[in-house]
Amino acid sequence: MTLRIIGCGNVDRGDDAAGVLVARRLLALGVESFGAETSEQSGESFSLMDCWIGFEHVILVDAIAPNGTPGVVEVWNAHTAELREDLFPCSTHAFGLREAVELARTMNRLPQLLQIYGIEGKQFSFNTPLSPEVEHAVESVAQQLLELARTMARR
């Protein structure tokens, strides 16, 4: 099974960098040695949809809106759950990750398996650092996804 992990975000906007940093951490950990591919995306929907073409299993990682517990990780299966609009308002695009998933669902263009990992952010202003809670979550998610890639490679 082909696996693509797409990290979404903007490294200049504090915790919005979470998804991109997960993708970069996975590369540093050698995830490609298990047959997984990583990609960095800004979260623009049409680019996201193009990025997952040809992959059976896709994981999207992005920051989600603050809700009181920075660093909390939520996971959704796009085939069984719609993404709430209030979770992904941080995109600089009017048409972002949530809209890409919902459009692909409507057009029957979702990958066979599509999981979304949302890391709750705290600060999204330009030129702010990553919050410690999100930094910890980035490492945790990267380790989880590395183990998933390792497990999939054994099959």
37-86 tens-digit pLDDT = 999 998 676 788 899 999 999 999 999 999 999 999 999 999 998 787 77
pLDDT over threshold 90, residue 8: yes
- How many domains, the chain? 1
Question: In which residue are the tokens 């709430």 written?
Answer: 84
| CATH number for position 131 | 3.40.50.1450
101-155 tens-digit pLDDT = 988 989 999 999 999 999 999 999 999 999 999 999 999 999 999 999 999 999 8
Please report which confidence band the pLDDT of residue 95 belongs to, taking 50, 70 and 90 as the band edges.
low
Separation CA 101–CA 121 (nearest Å): 21
Give the pLDDT of residue 26: 98
Range of the domain at 57: 3-154
> Which residues of 65-147 form beta strands (DSSP E)?
73-77, 113-120
58: exposed, middle or buried (Cβ count in 10 Å: 0-12, 13-18, 19+): buried
Q: For 53, which DSSP code? A: T
23-35 tens-digit pLDDT = 999 999 999 999 9
Of residues 95 and 36, more confidence is placed in: 36
Give the pLDDT of residue 94: 55
Mean pLDDT value of segment 86-99: 66
Give the pLDDT of residue 57: 96
